[in-house]
A and B are shown apart, each in its own frame.
Chain A
Amino acid sequence: MHAIRQTLARVYAGAFIFYMLIPLVIMSAAAFNDNKTPSIVPWKGFTWKWFSALWADDRMWHAFQNTIFVAIAVSLISVIIGTAAAILINSVSGNLRAVLYSTMISTILIPGAVIGISTMIMWTKMGNALDTEFILFKPGLHLSVLGQVSYIASIVMLLVLARLQSFDQGLEEAALDLGATHAQVMKRILLPHLYPAIGAGAAVAFFQSIENFNVTQFTRGGADTLTVYVFSKVRSGITPTINALALLLIGVTLLLAVLYEIKRRRSANIEAAREAEARRAAALEEAII
């Protein structure tokens, strides 16, 4: 009975992976179908032409550029703000900490549409009140950046805060006692400890930003990002160029995922080797004594 249930669980897991991946496979395969509507049936022959059509699509390139700019800006600002917020949270306690912490994480739960609309209304109203034509106060991708930062900073904050838990504040004390300046303590001791979390935060922020639609849709003015571009294409008559784009994006994702996994395995191996060495050394020591 036990064995049957285990087998069933395995079959279910297999089916689930299939369910997760098959739509992506179908979407990618349709990129090679010589058929005007994106589908794999009926199959009308193999072609590369959707890739060259994608290459020649200026609007796509423009949207791609915008996406990268927005994503870099968002991950830069989010990392700075998120790290500062995590350090602040880590140094305060009591009610202040509770209030700050819940305000910060509640931003993750606010629907994107609400963030987009509120950001848009606030900055344009501020522009009207100041009676200025300054670009910051007009709809555009810079407002998308600000809107996205408002919740992505919170994700970075959580990652950095988790890393801060394993930080030994004694190190800072020691450095201060030895005459280090405050800036040196920050730069040489605290930040190096946080780098792995900051790096992960930057990567997550970058991907979150590329994915974002809701905030961008309400703040972008007339500008396109890749997500908005794909969305408008899906809604207004579509050719398999989008499938070609999808295949390329999935390819990049897969590549990054595999690279990450290789790196993780390598560091796990190094870790295991070190542990084995330590065990051998301990055993040797014991034998000598």
Chain B
Amino acid sequence: MGNMIRRYGTSLTLLICLLTAFWLVMLVIVPNITLLESSFRPYLPVTEIGGPKDVYTAANYMKVFNGAIEISPFGFSFQIPVHVLTFSLTIFYSVIVTLICFALAYPLAYFMAKILHPRSLPTMFLLLFVPLWVSEVLRAFAWWIILALKGPLSWILMQLHLIDHEVRWIVGYNGVMIGLVYTYVLFMIFPVFNAISSLDSNQIEAAEDLGAPWWRIHWRIVLPHAKPGIASGAVMVFMLSAGSLLVPSILGSTTSQWFTQTVQQWMLDALDWNTAAAYAFILLLMCTLFVSLVMRVFRVKLSDIAN
């Protein structure tokens, strides 16, 4: 800090500190504390705010357990509160989306890092960057067109005589998963690519010379080396999927509900901001837990993930 004052003088240093403080305090820390504080307050008419009924309560969090519905996965049927179900399904499908993204991205990242001629790499990046720069809402909309009942996908499969009548593709969570994978797979490719490119190709050749089969080379050499990249990609894809509101709203079916949609209903439809705050906090908590879990499993630091 003394170093900084010597270089830039007191006033500039003060300005730099104030700007950073404004960001971290006013835009990050205080809003989140307010969120937590509001989440423990009851939803009251304006006249009663600050009155005797305005006391801290965990009632907003308890609303998660309201309204049980019956589900029967794998033949077992049991009762589960509807929001708990939404929450669990959001996590479950986000994990599936993350796994699919990894499965799609890994071969491509390896191809780009080790097989493709470095001279063609910029062109490849350009081709991949174009969909990344097209906004998320349009990418979801593009799939909405493709998956429509009388849309291009049904049409082409009928032309090929693979199906004999139009298929409803957006059923359950199908549409949401297709949309999420398409939208976020690029966030898996770039970190995994970066990690694999830093691997010395000689290691792969040495393993080949020693007679290792290709799958073992990947399992023992490339994958362990790419671990930080995979962790980074997995965190990004999971967070973006679980936090996505656009894709589930556009590509969701009547039977799919995403946790962010529930939060939105509390906030914008029910206008119960305090319950919305409680639900948002649950979402935040879940994301924090997931990141810590990934960091522990892959033994990476937060700074590795953000890169």
Question: Could you tell me which A residues sit within 8 Å of B by CB distance?
Answer: 5-6, 9-10, 12-13, 16-17, 19-21, 23-24, 26-27, 30, 37-41, 80-81, 84-85, 87-88, 91-92, 100-115, 117-122, 125, 146-147, 149-150, 153, 158, 169, 172, 176, 181-183, 185-186, 207, 210-211, 213-214, 217-218, 226-227, 230-231, 234-235, 242, 246, 249-250, 253-254, 256-258, 261, 264-265
Closest Cβ–Cβ distance, residue B282 to chain A (whole Å): 10
B92: chain A residues within 8 A (beta carbon) = none
Cβ of A214: which chain B residues have Cβ within 8 Å of it? 243-246, 260
Any chain A CB within 8 A of the CB of B67? no
What residues of chain B have their CB less than 8 Å away from a CB belonging to chain A?
1, 3-4, 6-9, 11-12, 15-17, 19-20, 22-24, 27-32, 34-35, 38, 104, 107-108, 110-112, 115-116, 122, 124, 126-131, 133-146, 148, 150-152, 155, 182, 186, 214, 235, 239, 242-246, 249-250, 260, 263-264, 267-268, 273, 276-277, 280-281, 283-284, 287, 291, 302-303, 305-307
Separation of A39 and B155 alpha carbons in the complex (Å): 11
**Contacting residues, chain B, for A226 (C-beta < 8 A):** 135
User: Other than the known A111-B260, A186-B12, what 10 A-B pairs have Cβ atoms closer than 8 Å?
Assistant: A13-B124, A17-B124, A106-B302, A107-B28, A172-B7, A182-B7, A185-B8, A186-B8, A250-B130, A257-B133
B35, B150, B263, B307: the one contacting A39 at CB < 8 Å is B150
Q: How far is the CA of A214 from the CA of B260 in the complex (A)?
A: 9
Q: Please state if B35 and A118 are interface contacts (CB–CB under 8 Å).
A: yes
Q: What A residues does B214 contact at CB under 8 A?
A: 5
Residue of B nearest to A265 (CB): B122
Give bound CA distance, A240 to B301, whole Å: 46
B17, A88: Cβ atoms under 8 Å?
yes
> How far, in whole Å, are A80 and B27 apart by their CA atoms in the complex?
14
Contact (Cβ within 8 A) B284 A88 = no
Least CB distance from A192 to B in Å reads 15
- Known contacts A16-B108, A114-B35; decide if A85 and B20 are in contact (CB<8 Å): yes
CB <8 Å contact, A30 and B145? yes
> Complex Cα distance A265/B125, Å?
14
A-B interface, 3 closest residue pairs, ranked by CB to CB distance from nearest: A111-B243, A182-B9, A23-B142
A84 to B97, CA, bound (A): 37
Chain A residues, CB < 8 A from B143? 23
Q: Which of B23, B136, B145 contacts A213 (CB 8 A)?
A: B136
Chain A residue contacts of B110, Cβ below 8 A: 9
CB-CB < 8 A to A5: which residues of B? Answer: 214
What chain A residues lie within 8 Å of B12 (beta carbons)? 182-183, 186
When the two chains form their complex, are residues B122 and A261 in contact, meaning their CB atoms are under 8 A apart?
Answer: yes
Residues of A within 8 A of B16 (CB): 84, 87-88
- The residue on A at minimum CB distance from B239 is A109
- A213 closest partner in B (C-beta): B246
Q: Is the CB of A183 within 8 A of B9?
A: yes
Q: Sample 17 A-B pairs with CB under 8 A, ordered by A number.
A: A13-B111, A20-B127, A21-B127, A23-B145, A38-B145, A105-B302, A111-B243, A113-B283, A121-B31, A149-B27, A182-B8, A183-B9, A213-B246, A214-B246, A227-B137, A250-B130, A253-B134
Q: Are B260 and A113 in touch, CB under 8 angstroms?
A: yes
Q: What is the bound-complex CA distance between A87 and B144, given in angstroms?
A: 45
